[in-house]
Amino acid sequence: MDPLSLHEPMSHATDSSVGVLVLHGFTGSTFSMRPVAEFFADRGYAVEMPLLPGHGTTWQDMDTYSYQDWVEAVDQAYWRLQQRKRKVVVFGLSMGGTLALVQAARRDVDAVIVVNPFVKDMKPTMRFAHLLARFTPALDAIGSDIQKPDTDEHGYQATPLLSVRQLHLLGKEARRSLRSIICPVLVFKSREDHVIPVSSVEHLRQCLPHTRVVHLDNSYHVATLDYDAPTIFARSLEFIEELDNSSR
C-alpha cells in the first residue's frame, strides 16, 4: 500500500439532513478516524474528513504551520458540508476534539462529539516548547496509544516541539471559547489514557455542565481504533439520530 494513501482526506456527499465533520489528532492523520467517517457514510450521512496541514507527510512539515492553519482547514471543510446540509455535527479525536470545540464556538454547529479531547496542557512546559526547540527539534512520538495488539495509527515517529507550542496555543483558544458553545456535546473518555490526562475532560465539564460523558473501559487514547470503537460508533449514532429526529 502506498503510505500516502493511509492519510487521504474523505468527502462523501448525500441528501441527508445531517452532515458529519470528522477531525483527526495531533501528529496523526485521517487513518485514525477513517472508521468513523466510513461508519457514518455507510449510514447515509454526508461526511467531510480533511487532512490537517502538516499532517500525513513528515513531522518536519508540521513546523511550517500554525494552529490557525488547522482551524482554517476545519472551517473550509465545515463550509463544504454546511452549504448542502442544515445540521452539522463535528466529531474529533484528541486535538481534533479541540478543533471541534473551537469550531462550535465560532460557527453554527448543531452538536459536538469528542474522543479523549485535549483542552488543558499535559505538561506546563508546553508553553515553552518553542524555546526548547532551539536545543532539540523533536521529542519521542506520542502516537498509537492503543490497547489492542498490533494496531498502529500510522502517525509521526517524532513530536515536533514548534508544533507542541501551537497545540498549547490552540488549547488556550479552546478554553476561551468553551462558554460560547450552546450545542449538545458528547464526550468519550478512556479510563486509561497515556496521552491526555483526565483534567481536560474535568475542565470541559466544568465549563459545559450538561456535557454527556461516556467512559471507555477497554481502550487507550486512540479509542477509535481500539476495543471500544463499536461503543463509540453506536452511542454516537444514537446521539446524532436524536438530533435529527428533534428537527422533524
Cite the annotated binding site for substrate by residue number: 26, 95
**Which entry of 32, 94, 163, 219 is annotated as an active-site residue?**
94
Q: Which three cell numbers mark 147?
A: 490497547
In DSSP terms, 138 is beta-bridged to: 160
Q: How far apart are CA 82 and CA 109, in angstroms?
A: 9
Catalytic option among 221, 226, 228, 244:
221
Residue 221 appears among annotated catalytic residues: yes
Residue found under cell 475542565: 203
Catalytic status, residue 193: yes
> Residue 97: in which H helix or E strand, if any?
helix 95-106
Task: Check: CB of residue 161 under 8 Å from CB of residue 193.
Answer: no
Catalytic (active site) residue 94: yes
β-sheet bridge partners, residue 215: 189
Spatial contact of 58 and 157, defined as CB atoms under 8 Å apart: no
- How far, in Å, CA of 123 to CA of 45, rounded? 38
CA distance 81 to 76: 9
How far is 33 from 20, CA to CA, in rounded Å?
12
- Please name which of 22, 171, 11 lies closest in space to residue 96, comparing C-alpha atoms: 22
As a whole number of Å, the end-to-end CA separation of the chain is 44
d(CA 55, CA 74): 13
Of the listed 110, 121, 193, 226, which one is catalytic?
Answer: 193
Assign residue 140 a region (left: φ > 0; alpha: ψ between -120 and 50; beta: otherwise): beta
DSSP for residue 177: H
Catalytic residue positions?
A: 94, 193, 221
